[in-house]
Structure 1
Amino acid sequence: MEKKKIAVPLVCHGHSRPVVDLFYSPITPDGYFLISASKDSSPMLRNGETGDWIGTFEGHKGAVWSCCLDTNALRAASGSADFTAKIWDALTGDELHSFEHKHIVKACAFSEDTHHLLTGGFEKILRIFDLNRPDAPPREVRESPGSVRTVAWLHSDQTILTSCSEMGGVRLLDLRSNQIIQTLETKSSVTSAEVSRDGRYITTADGSTVKFWDANHFGLMKSYDMPCKVESASIEPKFGNKFIVGGEDMWVHLFDFFSGEEISCNKGHHGPIHCVKFSPEGESYASGSEDGTIRIWKMNILEGNDILKSSEAEIGVEEAVQKVKALHINKDGSAEEEDVSVVV
């Protein structure tokens, strides 16, 4: 695949300290939105397409490490070094609830049905808050083996995905049994873990490696070594044929999912990149950096040969999924291949 020139990005100023987390809402009747977390203690909401500033959520007294929007982009959540996770009205900017913790909150995520908030951090405890009863004590799901770095929901809110700062691997916890049902093994600690919009993939970044896992059968589908240490990775949500990576080299790399070939390298940040995210339709992607800026990069319009590659990609994904389905998970958690073909 030939490398293409990427347009000059939209540069979003406003944060006074490093941007450490980004989150796109799904598409709503009013468009889609982008929320950012920063060490300056003030999460910001923007128009996801244009990057225009909409508002700032004011109330935290410490660095904000994590942020997210609910499915309808009506509420926002943030986790902070001030030992709280807060729920905000995304329309007015008002603080709705503040959930106290005993240590730094590094990760938060709304459930798919928007009724619960999952948090984790330095306490090594996963908590689920019932947003319909915000004054009720949270459900403490399970003690984590280390400080929680990332959290996510999958399987219609029946499974929790989490990783730790001090050790490798992603643990998958079944909420019905309260048991770890699978661990996705990595050599280094996982700095980002993303569940794709369609629920098919889990994308992880650890050390200088990006991995793609089947989110239903947990088989490893792809693993690529990157040219530098990476902090974040995100897969294109519409076709699943590209992914982006950001890390310590200050560049945003765009890769072909199936070959691992680099398509483009976007330069512009003046510090390490801490977070990257694709927009919900995949027509652009955003990056947040140590330099305090967010940059939104527009994808080129697909050319004829790329459309062909996309259709071929869909076929390739189906073949990969069929092979992963051939994996048999034993009761002890080990995997056996019932098919000699291996997903590369």
Structure 2
Amino acid sequence: MRPILLQGHERSLTQIKFNAEGDLLFSCSKDHVINVWYSHNGERLGTYEGNNGTVWTVDVDHETRFLVSGSADNTLRLWSVATGKCLYTWEFPTAVKRVAFNEDATQVVCITEQRMGFQCAIRVFDINRREGEESNQSEEPRHFFNPIGSKATVCAFTLLPNVIITGHESGKVALFNVKTGEEINNNERAHSDVVTDLQLSKDRTYCVTSSKDKAARIHDIKTLLVVKTFTTETPLNSAALAPNRPYVLLGGGQEAMNVTTTSLRQGKFETRFWHKVYEEEVGRVKGHFGPINTIAIHPAGTSYASGGEDGFVRVHHFDDSYFNAQPYGAVEIED
């Protein structure tokens, strides 16, 4: 698996995301820039410029028409994927740490930071998708609430209308009704440290979370019960679910500020493949010179990408041996 190295950022990566077809890969970093690449050959297609701070998070809609980004300059921005134009900017008192579209991209949810006397807030905005009116968005959120207790770090829409799933600084995972701001359900002990990433399965019935407590867990979205646990010996920053294959990809590594004191081997800067059912580690891929901050998998499961503290995105296209392997032994599982 020879990686394609994408060199388009000067500082560490914060999030990477494939579009629904998987032909484009979006990356954002602490250097204020969002890049878009062709995923098959790593050619840079363009950049989205205009943020004045670290871009913490991006999401792209199912039609690859709109892109949303959240940044340390306290803005949520809506971009046209095709033209690179910023269509609309929402401004807040604090930084935007996470953004996510709902399934049909008619709404976007964002989490703003708890800072300078402001509470952590979750806002949901309606997205006007009418042709020619893309710049005409409503300034006010459709829903707004402050999650009680520990501040939220990650979020995503579930299949239930008006229900989002959140991961928190305390390690809890919760379901909120965005209309009322009420916490419908929670698992206080999902993790014992901050939840760093949350990615949904293709059918949105379960999700995987990673945490600084060195574990990743699969949760049933309805009940929030922990179904599977993958325990490593390094803090985790990202976890992704491989479609069509029973694997979970985990990335992390020792904190960047302590990296100079450890060798690459000890730093554990590999992407780890774990068997989703048997909870066993089945492989590792090396390459980054620092912690892996974000992992994304191609929607068809043919490749994956990782973004690191070293400022590089590495795209790996899986070899034939990956597809020929029999993850359940001699049993053939029908998709």
| Secondary structure, counterpart of 1:188 in structure 2 | coil
Give the alignment partner of residue 182 of structure 1, picking from 185, 193, 213.
185
- Most deviating of 278-287 and 130-139: 130-139
Identity percentage of aligned residues = 27
- Most deviating of 144-153 and 292-301: 144-153
Q: Kindly report which structure 2 residues correspond to 1:99-118, keeping only aligned pairs within 5 A, or say none.
A: 99-118=90-109
CA distance 1:91–1:261, change in 2 (3 Å)? same
Give the alignment partner of residue 175 of structure 2, picking from 163, 172, 178.
172
Gaps of at least 5 residues in structure 2 are: 115-119, 129-135, 254-267
Q: Kindly report which structure 2 residues correspond to 1:20-31, keeping only aligned pairs within 5 A, or say none.
A: 20-27=14-21
- The alpha-carbon deviation at position 121 of structure 1 amounts to 2.1
Match of 2:7 in 1: 13
Q: Kindly report which structure 2 residues correspond to 1:212-227, keeping only aligned pairs within 5 A, or say none.
A: 212-227=218-233
Q: How many residues align?
A: 303
State yes or no: 1:234 paired with 2:219.
Answer: no
Distance 2:9 2:90 in 1: 24
Q: Is the 8 A contact 1:112 1:157 kept in 2?
A: no
| Secondary structure, counterpart of 1:186 in structure 2 | coil
CA displacement 1:166-193 (0-9 Å, x = unmatched)? x111111123554211113221111001
Q: Give the residue type in structure 1 aligned to 2:286.
A: K
State yes or no: 1:93 paired with 2:84.
Answer: yes
- The alpha-carbon deviation at position 16 of structure 1 amounts to 0.4
CA distance 1:214–1:313, change in 2 (3 Å)? farther
Match of 2:124 in 1: 128
| Secondary structure, counterpart of 1:96 in structure 2 | strand
CA distance 1:103–1:117, change in 2 (3 Å)? same
Distance 2:274 2:53 in 1: 35
Q: Is the 8 A contact 2:247 2:275 kept in 1?
A: yes
- The alpha-carbon deviation at position 156 of structure 1 amounts to 4.8
Give the alignment partner of residue 324 of structure 2, picking from 290, 303, 307.
303
State yes or no: 1:150 paired with 2:154.
Answer: yes
- Most deviating of 44-53 and 221-230: 44-53
CA distance 1:304–1:41, change in 2 (3 Å)? closer
Distance 2:235 2:310 in 1: 18
- The alpha-carbon deviation at position 164 of structure 1 amounts to 2.6
Q: Is the 8 A contact 1:130 1:136 kept in 2?
A: no
- The alpha-carbon deviation at position 238 of structure 1 amounts to 2.3
Give the alignment partner of residue 191 of structure 1, picking from 184, 196, 199.
196
Q: Give the residue type in structure 1 aligned to 2:75.
A: T
Q: Give the residue type in structure 1 aligned to 2:12.
A: P
Gaps of at least 5 residues in structure 1 are: 1-6, 315-344
Q: Is the 8 A contact 1:41 1:63 kept in 2?
A: yes
Superposed CA RMSD:
1.9
| Secondary structure, counterpart of 1:171 in structure 2 | strand
Distance 1:125 1:95 in 2: 24
Match of 1:265 in 2: 284
Match of 2:256 in 1: none
- The alpha-carbon deviation at position 129 of structure 1 amounts to 1.3
Distance 2:79 2:152 in 1: 23
CA displacement 1:14-38 (0-9 Å, x = unmatched)? 10000011111111xxx53211110
Match of 1:256 in 2: 275
Q: Kindly report which structure 2 residues correspond to 1:322-333, keeping only aligned pairs within 5 A, or say none.
A: none
Q: Is the 8 A contact 1:234 1:243 kept in 2?
A: yes
Question: Please, what TM-score do these two structures have when normalized by structure 1?
Answer: 0.83
Distance 2:206 2:330 in 1: 19
CA displacement 1:83-104 (0-9 Å, x = unmatched)? 0010100001000000101101
Distance 1:313 1:230 in 2: 31
Match of 1:69 in 2: 60
